[in-house]
């Protein structure tokens, strides 16, 4: 029985489901999956760059199959999951199952080279492999950690989700290596319970960031009615709606002002049920006088095209006065927010550029993120770090190393007041981390 490592990839259809299906399909072919890395979103590489990003993972397997037979098993799984033969090299595909390593086997044929010829050259291969085993090396003694450290920063590799599921009686996907601490130790910038946006702040931020939601009203027969609407928020966070009486919502609100609006960010990555979302509930009122002017301004600021029909006789301006908010931050993370707490909270000013800032850091400043993770995030044994989130209080990192994957939270010196503060704040973190790194290096040299 040998231990091997396979690389999985997909960029067509439900990518995670494809990877999971590959894990589940290997056993009947004599390949037992014993551990999985996290999944990683990765930029396309090779001959075709204009295609959707891939979801990649690596798995550790045990098998009695020789090298060529293991390749046959992997190809059989690909066929079972809908990958057609042929097609452009490096093109889009529902599933890839590549043999990367097979114990101490060195093999070369027209069909298969072991170790895989790209195993030391691709970040999207090295990072998940090192998550499985930080001490992993090729049969000739080339350490994968050294290969990763020598690669230029270029390929985008971003942690996307947890490890793939394996059978309950198989070993854990995380293995520790002594001497490489991946725990998030307590420092002034990272600690358990480090400040984050409150549920009320999360709700206000989502309301201010979106313009589309699902409105629910009470029909004349007492039945609920829900459909897609657009809105713009007031300064207090109350959604402003412009609804025609030709629409069922318009007629419903005339008879019963009770309503709710459900919101989420459809562009957020991952499982829809693991994304932040809220429902705001209250009563819809028709504003009058100066308040009506302010409400219309708020709606048009979010939906500029609304000015074209705002004056039509059949359209009515409504303000949904929020009385209660239900916030869901993901699986088993939720809270009910009172009207008072909701109004007292502020939207996060960094939200409009957060996604762009995260992408920029991961693409152009992976080296700085790694130093921040090691020196300020407590992940001393990290070999790679990716930014997974930014808010006004700090940044979130996913750190890989020592056969483990760990999250770290690093706080800014003070909460940010505007979106333009993100860049200088992250630069300040990098400078402080490099200063600590230099000081530690100097101390070691002196010793």
Choose, from 15, 41, 60, 96, the residue flagged as catalytic: 96
In this structure, what token pair is assigned to residue 331? 């699986």
- Residue 417, preceding bond cis, omega within 30 degrees? no
Neighbours of 208 (CB within 10 A): 19
Helix (H, G, I), strand (E, B) or coil at 265: coil
Helix axes 366-375, 351-364, angle to 10 degrees: 100
Q: Residue 16 catalytic?
A: no
Q: Given the structure tokens 């992993």, which residue do they identify?
A: 136
Backbone torsions φ then ψ of 116, nearest 5 degrees: -55, 140
CA of residue 403 relative to chain centroid, distance: 21
- Let me know how many helices (H) and strands (E) the chain has, helices first: 11, 19
Which of 15, 41, 98, 348 is labelled catalytic? 98
Secondary structure class of 282 (helix, strand, coil): strand
Backbone dihedral angles phi then psi of residue 118, each to the nearest 5 degrees: -105, 5
Q: Is 104 helix (H, G, I), strand (E, B) or coil?
A: coil
Token couple for 263:
């919101």
- Whether 168 sits among the annotated catalytic residues: the reply is no
98 annotated active-site: yes
Cα angle 415, 419, 422 (rounded to 5 degrees) comes to: 65
Of 83, 159, 197, 204, the active-site residue reads: 83
* C-alpha to C-alpha distance for 353 and 189, rounded to whole angstroms: 22
Tell me the two tokens of residue 376: 């300020």
Tokens of 121: 């050259």
Task: With CA atoms as reference, report the closest residue to 148 among 436, 401, 430.
Answer: 401
The side-by-side arrangement of strands in the sheet containing 404-411 is 384-390, 394-401, 404-411
**Quick one: which H or E segment has residue 281?**
strand 277-285
Which of 15, 41, 60, 93 is catalytic? The answer is: 93
Q: What is the DSSP string of 146-157?
A: HHHHHSPS-S-E
83 classed as catalytic: yes
- Annotated catalytic residues are 83, 93, 96, 98
């Amino acid at each position: 029985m040998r231990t091997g490592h396979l690389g999985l990839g997909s960029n067509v259809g439900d990518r995670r489901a494809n990877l999971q299906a590959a894990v589940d399909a290997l056993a009947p072919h004599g390949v037992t999956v014993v551990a999985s890395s996290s999944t990683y979103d990765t930029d396309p590489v090779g001959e075709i760059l204009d295609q959707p990003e891939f979801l990649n993972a690596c798995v550790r397997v045990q098998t009695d199959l020789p090298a060529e037979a293991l390749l046959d098993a992997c190809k059989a799984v690909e066929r079972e999951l809908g990958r057609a033969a042929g097609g452009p090299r490096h093109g889009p595909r529902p599933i890839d199952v590549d043999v990367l390593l097979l114990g101490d086997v060195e093999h070369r044929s027209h069909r298969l080279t072991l170790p895989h010829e790209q195993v030391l050259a691709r970040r999207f291969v090295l990072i998940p492999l090192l998550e499985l085993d930080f001490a992993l090396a090729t049969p000739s003694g080339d350490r994968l950690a050294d290969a990763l450290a020598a690669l230029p920063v270029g390929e985008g590799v971003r942690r996307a989700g947890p490890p793939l599921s394996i059978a309950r009686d198989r070993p854990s996907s995380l293995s520790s290596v002594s001497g490489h601490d991946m725990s998030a130790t307590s420092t002034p910038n990272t600690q358990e319970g480090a400040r984050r946006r409150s549920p009320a702040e999360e709700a206000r931020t989502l309301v201010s960031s979106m313009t589309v939601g699902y409105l629910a009203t009470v029909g004349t027969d007492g039945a609920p009615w829900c459909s897609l609407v657009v809105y713009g928020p007031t300064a207090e966070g109350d959604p402003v709606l412009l609804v025609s009486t030709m629409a069922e919502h318009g007629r419903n609100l005339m008879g019963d002002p009770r309503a709710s609006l459900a919101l989420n960010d459809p562009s957020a990555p991952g499982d829809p049920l693991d994304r932040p979302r809220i429902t705001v509930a209250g009563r819809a009122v028709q504003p009058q006088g100066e308040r009506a002017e302010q409400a219309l301004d708020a709606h048009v600021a979010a939906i500029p095209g609304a000015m074209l029909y705002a004056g039509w006789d059949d359209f009515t301006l409504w303000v949904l006065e929020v009385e209660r908010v239900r916030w869901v931050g993901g699986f088993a993370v939720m809270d009910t927010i009172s009207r008072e707490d909701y109004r007292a909270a502020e939207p996060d000013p960094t939200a409009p550029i957060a996604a762009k800032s995260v992408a920029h850091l991961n693409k152009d400043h992976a080296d700085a993120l790694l130093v921040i993770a090691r020196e300020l995030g407590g992940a001393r044994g990290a070999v790679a770090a990716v930014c997974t989130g930014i808010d006004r209080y700090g940044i979130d990192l996913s750190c890989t190393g020592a056969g483990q994957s760990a999250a770290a939270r690093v706080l800014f010196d003070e909460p940010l007041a505007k979106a333009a503060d993100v860049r200088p704040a992250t630069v300040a973190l990098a400078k402080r981390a490099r200063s600590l790194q230099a000081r530690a290096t100097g101390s070691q040299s002196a010793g």
